[in-house]
Amino acid sequence: CFDVTFQEMKIQNFLTIVTASIECVFFAGIIYGWPSLEFVLIKEGYFSYLCNGTSKNSTLYTTTGNKTLSCPASNSKLNLVFTIGTSTMMILLPVGGYIFDRFGTWVHRTGATCMLTVGVAVMAIATPDTAELLFIGVTLIGIGGLNLLISNIKVAALCPSFRASFVTLYNGSYDSGAIMFFIFKTLHDSGLYKLKDILIVYCFCTLYCWVTTYTLRPKKWFSETEDQPKYGIFQWGSKCGKEKDDSKETDRILGQDNEDNTTELPNSDVENELDNRSLKECICTNMFLTTQIFMSLLNLIVVYFLGSYETWLKSFVKPNEVSTLTSILGVLLLLGIVVAPLNGLTTDLVMKLCLKIGYNRYKSTWLGLFTATTISTLFGVLFTLCLALHQVYPAFFFFILMRSFLYASNTAVIAIAFPARHFGTLLGISMMIAGITALGQFGIFFLAVKYDPHFSTINYIMIGVAGLTIVHPLDVLIFLHLNLAFHQRKPGVTTSES
């Protein structure tokens, strides 16, 4: 694609790349706009029957006369909806990855899009009297959206020279998906539309995902061996003989790339030994363990903030300011598409500086990862500190930075530290463990509501939780040091070569 001039890129490739980014923004990542949706759900009275032990028809009013129907019991229930939705989508990610690897893009995306459409439809038919349907709707939306992201990341195969840039772009677009629920909130606040009407229209909008699946995505996988592969609408009614070989060709090319990289580096002996590890050996390493501590704890903080956002704000700001601050957060979350590339730029800059002063590419790469993971931990500590001090706008700022750096750093470490053939499985396991850990967020929220209504103690504890993730950057540094020391002890290798 970009191996030639931009003008020579086929229109289909261009449309595929653009529509994938649009899909991530408007469909895949909407679940992370939960604070905006939660505000609307509270305003419409979902789970309000839990307040004060009254019936489902009870109502409470603010000083402005608008229905808010909020109490600790209803807030806890909404928090549980979000917790189950986000945790389930991460826990089941390995299943979606297996379906993609086994059956191809069309089957995988059909299932993901079906879940997204059904999830939105279930939320549309839910009412305050049937609020329990939110558990099903939000969970399906989360599972469908995350699997759409996974399928869209594969679009980067169209541009091998810019693969990392497009992967970052789609992850950033996924982060910006929170803007959709903010749009829902804005339309609802106008007083012209009900949530049900908005969701019905949005349900029909998911047809976009169905159309792009069968017109701009391959039946199996994107080929990395053809300059202009035929896919999407060009495969209708035709038999592409090379489809069944796509995965094998991809593995072959990947293996060649790994060989080229290891021969190019001075410490190829170390990399060859590490690349021969089995999946079990990879999982049992200190690197994977600290990666999980890093990913699970910071992801827990992300889910904790989004799930408790409404209750946290109400503990120290005026009720009429909650809506405004929620809208501001909704807009700022759109910046994810801009902030996400900063992780890659930071890593690349450190690598270039290290190469410039004489380090080899292997050492420069790991020092770049050390910098990115350290910055992620720093952002996590600063974010939780702002939460504890009730500094709203700085908290928004550091939350966006931490969230973007977290997922990009986790993916980069797994891609570089472990054999390429285990990447999909290890990433799926990593997300699954993080999803299981995120279930603890509901317990934290429940304890905070009951014993710490101002979230003071909990947020100070979260500072310590974020600080614990420093073990991962330190392990990255130790990993690099030990491997270089091992290489220096090998016969026939001089210090200058290392």
pTM of the model: 0.77
Q: What is the CA radius of gyration of the chain?
A: 24
Q: Where in the chain is the domain with CATH 1.20.1250.20?
A: 1-217
CA distance 51 to 59: 9
Q: What pLDDT does 166 receive?
A: 74
Helix (H, G, I), strand (E, B) or coil at 351: helix
The DSSP line for 140-188 is: HHHHHHHHHHHHHHGGGGG-GGGHHHHHHHHHHHHHGGGHHHHHHHHHH
- Residues contacting 443, CB < 8 A, separation 6+: none
Which residues in 341-375 are b (16+ Cβ under 10 Å) and which e?
Answer: bbbbebbeebbeebeeeeebebbbbbbbbbbbbbb
Torsion of CA 102, 107, 109, 112, to 10 degrees: -90
Helix (H, G, I), strand (E, B) or coil at 350: helix
DSSP letter at 317? S
Q: What pLDDT does 219 receive?
A: 80
Full pLDDT tens readout for the chain, 498 residues:
334 334 445 677 788 888 888 999 999 989 988 989 998 998 888 888 887 654 443 444 343 444 555 677 888 899 899 999 999 998 998 888 788 878 888 888 999 999 999 999 999 999 988 999 999 999 999 999 999 988 887 777 776 666 667 777 788 888 888 889 999 999 998 888 899 999 999 999 999 999 998 888 888 766 554 555 555 555 555 444 444 444 444 444 344 444 433 333 344 444 555 567 788 888 888 889 999 999 999 999 999 999 888 888 888 888 788 888 988 988 888 887 888 777 777 877 888 888 888 888 778 888 888 988 999 999 999 999 999 999 999 999 999 999 888 887 887 788 778 876 777 678 888 889 999 999 888 888 888 888 888 888 999 999 999 999 999 999 988 887 776 655 554 444 443 344
CA distances from 169 to 112, 148, 160, 247, 370 (A): 21, 14, 14, 24, 22
DSSP letter at 217? S
The token duo for 311 is 């209750």
The token duo for 27 is 């469909």
What CATH class does 1-217 carry?
mainly alpha
DSSP letter at 265? S
- Domain at 265-490: CATH code: 1.20.1250
Q: What pLDDT does 255 receive?
A: 45
CA distances from 62 to 8, 59, 67, 262, 343 (A): 60, 10, 7, 65, 43
CA distance 373 to 473: 6
Q: Is 55 left (phi over 0), alpha (psi -120 to 50) or beta?
A: beta
CA distance 177 to 157: 23
